[in-house]
Amino acid sequence: MTPATAVAEAAANSADIVSLHYRITGTVPETGRLEADAFMKTDPPAMSMEMSAAGREGNGPLPVRFVDEVMYVGEAVKGKRWFRADPAAWGGLTVDNDSHGVLPRQLESSPVVQSTLLTGSKDVRVVGPETVDGTRTTHYKGTVTSDGLRAARDAAPDTATRERLIEGLDQFVGLGVPDTLTMDLWIDGDNRAKRFRWQARADGDGGPLDLTVTFLDVDRPVTIEAPPAEDTTALPDDAREG
């Protein structure tokens, strides 16, 4: 199949993913270098992540969970192990996501949707076969612009494809990329995304975007629970973003 067809098929197959274990490495504007290990599920929506970021105070990775529209962050506050903030949203459209400034905005969205952005590329090409985390894949590469995503959306052959492209356009806008995003996508033998990488300059002086996301396990059982109520306290109003 052509590179564009392969990328579109991988995007279509991603729509059925119900749970995911994934790893994030790289740099994002404003935050700088970061690493994260995360689990997510779609029904009901929930996410659990441990994130290490440049300049972060404290010992070890920062635990963050989103359960039932509440965010829990593993920081000792008022003698409790977790603080909570609500309403909080993760994994939706950019305008809906809200981690109260705890997560970089690039980490507030579902990586499943983010992996589909290359469907809006007009120059996607094959780089070649590569092994990623022990899995044989085919590496694709291209550039993505908002105009390209809009054109692909308008030319979508069916409703499901159009909805995926609308979500992809939303993700692109949310990244704060002023013009062009370079994207690498590695697709496995099941025609699903295994890894993707974004590279771009960003608006302002916050530094470049260079982020790699690797899918470690797909559709294996994932349990994400809220911490015990007696071990949480509300995030103070003066600590909330904005």
Give whole-number Cα distances, 190 to 1, 9, 76, 140, 194, in Å. 14, 10, 43, 15, 10
Is-above-0.85 flag for pTM? Answer: yes
Which three-class secondary structure state does DSSP give residue 50?
Answer: strand
Edge-to-edge strands of the sheet including 180-188? 125-132, 135-145, 180-188, 193-200, 209-218, 19-28, 32-42, 45-53, 62-67, 70-73, 82-85, 232-234
The DSSP annotation for 88-141 comes to -B-SS-TTT-B-TTSS-GGGSS-HHHHTTGGGG-SS-EEEEEEEETTEEEEEEE
User: Which has the closest alpha carbon to 9: 129, 150, 116?
Assistant: 116
Nearest to 115, CA basis, from 195, 178, 181? 195
pLDDT in tens, the chain (242 residues): 899 999 999 999 988 899 999 999 999 988 899 999 999 999 889 999 999 987 666 667 999 999 999 999 998 777 789 999 999 999 988 989 999 999 999 999 999 999 999 999 999 999 999 999 999 999 999 999 989 889 988 988 888 888 888 988 998 888 888 789 999 999 999 999 999 999 998 766 668 899 999 999 999 999 999 999 999 999 766 455 54
Spell out the domain ranges in the chain.
3-16+111-218, 20-25+37-109+226-239
Q: Tokens 């392969």, residue?
A: 6
The answer to whether the peptide bond before residue 111 is cis (omega within 30 degrees of 0) is no
pLDDT score recorded for residue 242? 42
At residue 191, the pLDDT reads: 94
pLDDT of 160 reads: 85
The first and second tokens of residue 162, run together, are 């159009």
- The DSSP H or E segment spanning 154 is helix 146-154
Taking Cα atoms as reference points, which of 65, 59, 16, 61 lies closest to residue 39? Answer: 65
